[in-house]
Amino acid sequence: MSSPPLPTVTLSPTVSLAWEHCSQLGHEMIVTTHGRRIFPCLEYTLEGLDPQKLYSMSVHLEFVDNKRLRYLNGQFVESESTEKKDPPRRVFHPCGVQNGEKWMSRNVDFNHIRITNRKSMEEKSTSYVHLHTQHRYMPVLTIYEEDKPFYIACVPNTVFHTVTGYHSEILDKYKTSLNPFATGSRPERVEKRKGGAKGTTYGTPKRFKAVKRDAETDLFQRMYREMLGKTLPPLPPLPSLPPLPPIQVPKMDPSPPGPQVVPKSEPCTSPVVPEFSKSSEDPKTAHPSPSDQKIPEVPLARPLQDLATPLSNFFLQYPMFSMPFNPFLTTVTPFFNPFVPNIFPTPSVSPSSDSGSCPQVPGAEEDDEQEVDVVC
């Protein structure tokens, strides 16, 4: 029993010549993050199907090899690919399931496929296919009969490698001349983006409103382009300046000045001792004792004043009791001022009537047994 004849799958005559020319030029296919059509289009012609049976179609893009192509020094260099290769995504034809007669009555195209280099775009729609850049791919058509693979077809001259920009200028111009959607690469659009044509508009996306340039902007840009095309005249030479006169340095006397003689001051033969002015006043009256001094009235120091007055009187009558407290009083006394006068006053010295004799200590006449040595 002979097996049924296999179907024949070829590219349609409208696109087969374009695929062949692109293959000879080193077919490069641009992929973008937002998705891009496959050009030339994938359009097939089917023959040999059973007119009464039901079929469905799908296309997926298969890796040709495990190589990565990098463009270096004007040519592509191959290296081992390290990209993770997931199972290919299959995109089914939107017509779904049909009998063989309808599939063979017209060309089968997959213009709704969009190729992208961003994996997350596959979640946006089932027509998006993620491809790695700098790799070779080949479209594969699969025919299903009753949801089972019936025939797999790989058409020659459909191999391409993915890039983000054309490296071949000839291929770029050829695909631009054939692709009705490649308006951005046409010469007139390039001139408009550069601002060379008058009346151009900004904001090519449809969501932006076109902004017309006014006459002043056009005039300024035209004058700017004319200025760039002209060559600037050379700068005039700088005028010659007269030479500077020589600097005259005053002549200095070579003989250094002699040393200055400083007159010596006469030495002091005898120290000058100030004479005390004779006063007929009583020393006790002229210099009252601390007991006779009045303590200033300070509101905050009133308790200390009440305590200091009897202590001061006591130590004046009995000086021998104040001697053990002298080291302590030297430190503490500044903290009592200005609130309290000196609790343990030192005897004041009053000048005597005789200029040649030493001053006497008050109270020495009353107490002949106590002698106080005072150094003049």
State the CATH number of the domain containing residue 155: 2.60.40.820
Is residue 18 one of the residues assigned to a domain?
yes
pLDDT of residue 245: 78
Which amino acid appears at position 288 of this protein? Answer: P
Is residue 288 one of the residues assigned to a domain?
no
Report the distance separating Cα 273 and Cα 275, nearest Å. Answer: 6
Is residue 364 one of the residues assigned to a domain?
no
Tens of pLDDT, residue by residue over 18-44, are 999 999 999 999 999 999 999 999 999
| Number of domains comprising the chain | 2
pLDDT of residue 214: 52
Tens of pLDDT, residue by residue over 162-214, are 999 999 999 999 998 888 877 655 566 556 655 544 444 444 444 434 444 45
Domain endpoint, select from 158, 178, 198:
178
Is residue 232 one of the residues assigned to a domain?
no
Are 163 and 36 a contacting pair, CB within 8 Å?
Answer: no
Is residue 268 one of the residues assigned to a domain?
no
pLDDT of residue 356: 47
Domain endpoint, select from 178, 209, 241:
178
Q: List C-alpha distances in Å: 338 to 114, 120, 187.
A: 99, 88, 101
Instruction: State whether residue 207 is helix, strand or coil.
Output: coil
Are 88 and 71 a contacting pair, CB within 8 Å?
Answer: no
Are 350 and 287 a contacting pair, CB within 8 Å?
Answer: yes
Total-model pTM: 0.51
Radius of gyration of the chain (CA): 59
Q: Residue 183 contacts by C-beta under 8 Å, 6 or more apart in sequence?
A: 189
Is residue 376 one of the residues assigned to a domain?
no
Is residue 355 one of the residues assigned to a domain?
no
pLDDT of residue 34: 93
The rounded average pLDDT for each run of 10 residues, N- to C-terminus, in the chain (376 residues) is 80 94 94 93 95 95 94 92 93 95 95 95 94 96 93 94 93 89 62 51 42 54 66 68 74 60 58 50 51 52 62 70 63 52 49 47 45 44
pLDDT of residue 352: 46
Q: List C-alpha distances in Å: 210 to 186, 188, 192, 219.
A: 20, 18, 13, 20
Domain boundaries, position 58 = 8-178
DSSP for 81-128? -----PPPPPEE-TT-SEEHHHHHHS-EE-TT-EEES-GGGGGT-TTE
User: Measured on CA atoms in the order 39, 116, 122, 78, is the torsion positive or negative?
Assistant: positive
Do 161 and 13 fall within a single domain? yes
How far is C-alpha 66 from the geometric centre of its chain's CA atoms? 41
Is residue 198 one of the residues assigned to a domain?
no
